[in-house]
A and B are shown apart, each in its own frame.
Chain A
Amino acid sequence: MSDARLKWLLLPAGLFVLAVYAWPTLGLFRNAFNETGPTGAMVETWSLKTTAEVLADSFTFELTLNSLWLSLSATLLALALSYPVALFLFRTNSRFRGLLAVVAIMPMLISGVVRVFGWLAILGDRGLVNSLAQSFGLITAPMKLVFNWTGVTIGLAESIMPYMILALLAGFGQLDRTLEEASRSLGATPMRTFLRVTLPLSLPALALAAGLGFVLSMSAYITPKLLGGGRVFVLATEIFEQATTNTNWPVASVLAIYTLVLLLLLLAASNLAARGLKR
């Protein structure tokens, strides 16, 4: 097929995106130019007042740092946990490989809300972890594992893991068992082989997975909301809060656009970095 005719293949998706994404996004842009009156009423106008206020508010900066920090720590934790799993799945000749892969991405099939309540049962003051630790006499008072940053980081890491495992498997193209055998035959210990061959060759996959995990974490809302106990303020929760509790659509819109721009910049940066890695 010629390139010109190939383009038609993009038409259905293009129309779909236009209808469900571009149109609402336009509404978002419109609201960002509105203002909010002193009692919360929305004032329809065309002004940059809301944008200026949001950008000048030090809390916006705080939220940004929080979002970045949360996304970074959740992504790194998830990456550390996903990488061995993905390597195993990539390598194994087990006849259960298909089943194991499904188990690894199973959390994707479960509603986020259900997962979060699962974590409450595990990480709560009287949850599994604390009960076990107390029954073994490791601790006397329960550890605070949930309704704080720790809980959100753990829950978020778990929720992005399936996506990262899939991204890693997709990105492992260059990883070839023979290269590791070559390394070992040349005198490198398994550890050195991992450091000198496996890891460097996994870098494109790791970058891909980390980028995906980071974007997902930045936009995650349910986990910070439900596991944060009201202590974890990030951009996504603030957008929701402004839109649905404060009825402040202009501020919510400005924050949403701000987050979108932030993510686009981060994606561009990670693309550049990935291109550098491939060289």
Chain B
Amino acid sequence: MSYLELSGLQKRYRDAVAVDDVSLSVEKGEAVALLGPSGCGKTTTLRMLAGLVDPDRGAIRLDGAEVTRLPAHKRNMGYVFQSYALFPHLSVARNVGFGLEERRVAKAEIARRVVEALAMVRLSGLDQRRPRELSGGQQQRVALARSLVIRPSVLLLDESLSNLDAKLRDTMRHEIRSIQRSLGITTLFVTHDQVEALTMCDRIAVMHRGRIAQIGSPEDIYERPATRFVAEFVGRANALPATRDAEGRVVLWGERLPVAAPAGGEFDLFVRPQRIRILPISEPVADGMARVTGKVLRSVFVGDHVEVLVEGAAGQIQVELQSGTALPQEGAEVALVWRARDTLPFPRETA
């Protein structure tokens, strides 16, 4: 049995199902992201873990013991809130020491561990400040230190980086990841930001409509999305309506592709823009490659890459080229080429 086990968790509110059926196993020391759009039930799942929401059904087991109905204050979970939830009336040191005071830890011990925790998040010397005297990034670190200092069984981070600006978010991402690794602390991370999920976690659970759509390593999720939703939500992808010919082979924009068609009705092909290359129309292609032709509609230089929009017989394809390559001429006839195995067919959603 894993260190942390969620099985069949469900939570309904008056008129909506927040979490339908969530089961998840997390190993000790592992960092798992709950990734999904807003309203997918990821925060509710995290709050059930913390004991802030009672599940209607299902069980939570931690280290072999059932904690499903244990009140929040007995769970020893470190929860970092999106708003940080620092106590405005207490100094940084009292904020960080709060959990230790509640655990009746000796004063000297508290002082020592608070200093240690503040050093870990690189906030030494700010211990007498009030939270509102700190910047957003500093408040985030205090919140992190406050949750870590109690040596929680599990660290729960709820959209913890979403209130920071882009640059700071990048720094914090790496800091949190390295702290998490060095402490070996089991971590659950709720986010709607795929970069956060991809870079900070060992595994990602993509959530959709109160259920887990797919669990896997960042690479799995990105390269082998299990559902159309995952493919759409994680990374960017061209969704290209395709058809079958008489022999059952896949046809896109009038070209046959060496791709296996899914069973059933209508379907789309998903191709990531970075996986597509633009070649002169005359250039031959190797086996196992997919190829369509079209006209360059637009090329835009975006800094670290170039976005090219190509119009073909039945739609448009977005291509992302590394910068440094020459910008294709607008209006030029080009061939678009990608490996057939980078093509992911998913049935078209009827909804």
Chains A and B in contact, CB within 8 Å: yes
A144 contacts across to B, CB distance below 8 A: none
Complex contact B73–A187 (CB within 8 A): yes
Give per-residue flags for B36-75: 1 if the beta carbon is below 8 A from chain A beta carbons, else 0: 0000000000000011100000000000000000011111
- Cα distance, A186 to B86, chains bound together (Å): 12
Task: Tell me how many residues of B have a C-beta within 8 Å of chain A.
Answer: 26
- Give B130's nearest chain A residue, CB to CB: A279
Say whether B99 faces chain A, with CB atoms less than 8 Å apart.
yes
Q: A174, A176, A181, A192: which contacts B102 (Cβ < 8 A)? A: A192
Determine the chain A residues whose CB is within 8 A of the CB of B79 once the complex forms: 181-182, 185
Tell whether A188 is near chain B: CB-to-CB under 8 Å.
Answer: yes
User: Does A244 lie at the interface of the complex (its beta carbon under 8 Å from any beta carbon of B)?
Assistant: no
Is B98 part of the contact surface with A, judged by Cβ < 8 Å? yes
Give complex CA distance A189, B103 in Å: 11
A187 to B102, CA, bound (A): 6
Chain A count of residues within 8 A CB distance of the other chain: 20
Contact check, B89 vs A185: say whether CB atoms are below 8 A apart.
Answer: no
> Do residues B83 and A185 form an inter-chain contact, with CB atoms below 8 A?
no
Please tell me if the beta carbons of A189 and B73 are within 8 angstroms of each other in the complex.
yes
Chain A residues whose C-beta falls within 8 Å of the C-beta of B74 in the assembled complex = 187
Contact at B52–A185, with CB atoms within 8 Å? yes
Task: Give A62 to B324 CA distance when docked, in angstroms.
Answer: 91
Given A178-B81, A192-B102: A185 touches B87 (CB 8 Å cut-off): no
Question: Which residue of B71, B88, B146 is within 8 Å of A174 (Cβ)?
Answer: B88
Partner of B81, one of A181, A200, A201: A181
Task: List chain B residues, Cβ under 8 A from A189.
Answer: 73
- Residues of chain A within 8 A of B221, CB atoms compared: none
Q: Mark B229-252, 1 if CB is under 8 A from A, else 0.
A: 000000000000000000000000
- Interfacial chain B residues near A196, Cβ < 8 Å: 98
Q: Would A182 and B102 be within 8 Å (CB), given that A187-B73, A187-B150, A189-B73 are in contact?
A: no
Question: B72 to chain A: which residues have CB within 8 Å?
Answer: 181, 184-185
Contact check, A186 vs B89: say whether CB atoms are below 8 A apart. Answer: no
Asked if A267 lies at the interface with its beta carbon under 8 angstroms from chain B, I say no
Partner of B85, one of A179, A192, A200: A179
Tell me whether A185 and B102 are in contact in the complex, defined as CB-CB below 8 angstroms, given that A178-B85, A179-B85 are known contacts: no
**Residue picked from A179, A187, A192, most chain B C-beta under 10 Å:** A187
Residue-wise, chain A 91-107 has the 8 Å CB interface mask toward B (1 for contact) of: 00000000000000000
Determine if A197 is an interface residue (Cβ-Cβ < 8 Å).
Answer: yes
Q: Find the residue from A181, A182, A201 having the highest chain B CB count within 10 A.
A: A182
What is the distance, in angstroms, from B15's C-beta to the closest C-beta of chain A?
11
Chain A hits for B87, CB < 8 A:
179, 182-183, 197, 201
CB neighbours (8 Å) of B88 from chain A are 174, 179, 201
Closest to A182 in B: B85
Q: Which residues of B contact A183 (CB under 8 A)?
A: 87, 98
Q: Is the CB of A186 within 8 A of B99?
A: yes
Contacts of B85 in A (CB 8 A): 176, 178-179, 181-182
CB distance from B113 to the nearest CB of A (A): 13
Q: Please give the residue numbers on chain A whose beta carbons come within 8 Å of chain B beta carbons, in ascending order.
A: 174, 176, 178-179, 181-190, 192-193, 196-197, 200-201
14 contacts between A and B (CB under 8 A): A178-B81, A179-B85, A179-B87, A181-B85, A182-B81, A184-B72, A185-B51, A185-B79, A186-B146, A186-B150, A187-B76, A187-B99, A196-B98, A200-B89
State the B residues within 8 Å of A (CB): 50-52, 71-79, 81, 83, 85-89, 98-99, 102-103, 146-147, 150
